[in-house]
Amino acid sequence: MTFVYDALVIGAGYIGVSVAYHFSKAGLRTALLDRGGVGSGASRANYGNIQVQDAELAHSLDLIQAGYASFEGLEAELGQPVGLRQLGSLLLIENEAQWQMMAARLPRLHTAGIRAELVEASHLPDLEPLLDVSALLGACYHQREGQIYPFALLSAFLNAGQKRGLSLHWRTEVNAIITRADRVTGVRTSRGDFSAGVVALCTGAWTTKLGRMVERNWPVRHVIGQALITEAAPTLRLRNHLASAAFFQEAHGGGQDGGTERAILAFSQTREGHFLLGEAARVTCDMDIRATPTGQPAIARLAARFLPALQKLQVLRGWAAAVAFTYDGLPLLGPVAGLKGLILATAFKSTVIVTPLVGRLVTELALTGCTQLDITPFSPDR
């Protein structure tokens, strides 16, 4: 049996649901396919932070700025709340090398209008009273970041898409991409063939596998990232999302395939008061998405060290997810050369912030062959 559509979106994570919504809104008969269900990949497993100041600097600032702006009016457009709220961000600095590295980023951020600033440790308690600053030199602070509730964002795009005719196909794994001459014409799945002139791959950590189906070797790697969540503690309030400046030195970008697990601080809090604590990370080729007996305690130790007030809180659960990344810090966003109709949108350094925007860009690309924002640096064929 063959299902016939105008457009197919593979992968129902943040990027896929946004693309599927925008395709449907543009009048394309669209099917969204996932090997599991909505949020089966990394999009079920994150903090929902809208991250600005940790942007890749060489090519991504326009994308990040436009991404941030696209949250304005989003809830009204989708007709449903997504848990949007403004938050600050602190990138914590533990040594002189990190201080210099953060200082070197500032001029470029400022030129783009991102008012991040270096703050010495003595001023940090004013910004984040829960933080133990004794081992810190300071932090890079940016006031205008934000957070959404991940499941609310996913379901808002899905609901709005369905109202415009979007068709959902869960437990539908793409096993082959069907091509004729220099065109994509559909996909072969565990539930039959789907035909369409446009196929958008939003497949996160699975993208290399999809690439092999069309003889492409896209430079997407993945990290298994772990986190845990505590019981709600409404009287303890984090004012910012906290991450370590060490992310710029050694996390995904610096890790090697098969490297050992490392815990690097990434803390946040939900609107209801649950603390989201991470992140133990391991760059790997496997897809063993399980929290480990070493990773979870390492995260708890980090939390106890930097947020001592949390020590008595109960941990509710821990999890792990495979998160796609590239070694140059740039996403794969654009048409696939030599295969008309095939578009890739994956491996964003920060995904939440670009989610609404990328749906729009991919739709522009599918309809007109170009985008208002220059995405050539992100070409899958770079």
Ligand X SMILES: Cc1cc2nc3c(=O)[nH]c(=O)nc-3n(C[C@H](O)[C@H](O)[C@H](O)COP(=O)(O)OP(=O)(O)OC[C@H]3O[C@@H](n4cnc5c(N)ncnc54)[C@H](O)[C@@H]3O)c2cc1C
149 binds ligand X (CB under 6 A): no
199 binds ligand X (CB under 6 A): no
What are the φ and ψ backbone dihedral angles of 123, each rounded to 5 degrees? -95, -10
Q: Rounded CA gap, 10 and 34, in Å?
A: 6
Instruction: Name the minimum Å distance from CB 188 to ligand X.
Output: 10
Calculate ∠ Cα 156-48-78, nearest 5°. 20
Instruction: Name the minimum Å distance from CB 120 to ligand X.
Output: 26
Which of 24, 30, 46, 70 contacts ligand X by CB under 6 A?
Answer: 46
Determine the size of the site formed for ligand X (CB under 6 A).
Answer: 39
Q: Rounded CA gap, 355 and 118, in Å?
A: 28
Taking the least distance from each CB to ligand X, the nearer of 98 and 326 is 326
Report whether 31 contacts 8 (CB < 8 A).
Answer: yes
**Residues from 254 through 283 that contact ligand X (CB under 6 A):** 278-279
Which of 8, 352, 365, 375 contacts ligand X by CB under 6 A?
Answer: 352
Nearest CA among 144, 113, 49, 87 for reference residue 349: 49
Taking the least distance from each CB to ligand X, the nearer of 70 and 346 is 346
204 binds ligand X (CB under 6 A): yes
15 binds ligand X (CB under 6 A): yes
Cβ partners under 8 Å of residue 274, min gap 6: 229, 230, 231, 232, 233, 316
Give the H/E segment covering residue 346: strand 342-346
10 binds ligand X (CB under 6 A): yes
Query: How buried is 345 (Cβ within 10 angstroms: 0-12 exposed, 13-18 middle, 19+ buried)?
Result: buried
Taking the least distance from each CB to ligand X, the nearer of 141 and 348 is 348
Which of 24, 49, 89, 240 contacts ligand X by CB under 6 A?
Answer: 49
Which of 8, 20, 32, 42 contacts ligand X by CB under 6 A?
Answer: 42
Report whether 127 contacts 240 (CB < 8 A).
Answer: yes
Stretch touching ligand X by CB under 6 A, among 5-13, 92-100, 104-112, 374-382: 5-13
In the chain the first and final C-alpha atoms are separated, in Å, by: 37
Instruction: Name the minimum Å distance from CB 53 to ligand X.
Output: 13
3-state secondary structure of 235: coil
Report whether 56 contacts 329 (CB < 8 A).
Answer: yes
Instruction: Name the minimum Å distance from CB 113 to ligand X.
Output: 20
Beta strand 7-10 with 240-244 is unpaired
Instruction: Name the minimum Å distance from CB 122 to ligand X.
Output: 28
Which of 48, 295, 334, 359 contacts ligand X by CB under 6 A?
Answer: 48
Instruction: Name the minimum Å distance from CB 134 to ligand X.
Output: 26
Instruction: Name the minimum Å distance from CB 318 to ligand X.
Output: 10
Q: Rounded CA gap, 115 and 324, in Å?
A: 28
Which of 202, 238, 339, 343 contacts ligand X by CB under 6 A?
Answer: 202
Instruction: Name the minimum Å distance from CB 315 to ligand X.
Output: 14
Nearest CA among 343, 325, 324, 347 for reference residue 334: 343
30 binds ligand X (CB under 6 A): no
65 binds ligand X (CB under 6 A): no
174 binds ligand X (CB under 6 A): yes
13 binds ligand X (CB under 6 A): yes
The residue behind tokens 């100041």 is 53
296 binds ligand X (CB under 6 A): no
Report whether 92 contacts 242 (CB < 8 A).
Answer: yes
Q: Rounded CA gap, 382 and 375, in Å?
A: 11
186 binds ligand X (CB under 6 A): no
Taking the least distance from each CB to ligand X, the nearer of 137 and 160 is 160
Report whether 242 contacts 49 (CB < 8 A).
Answer: no
Instruction: Name the minimum Å distance from CB 100 to ligand X.
Output: 26
Instruction: Name the minimum Å distance from CB 26 to ligand X.
Output: 20
Contacts with ligand X by CB under 6 A lie at 10-16, 33-36, 40-43, 45-49, 51, 173-174, 202-206, 210, 225, 227, 278-279, 321, 323, 346, 350-352
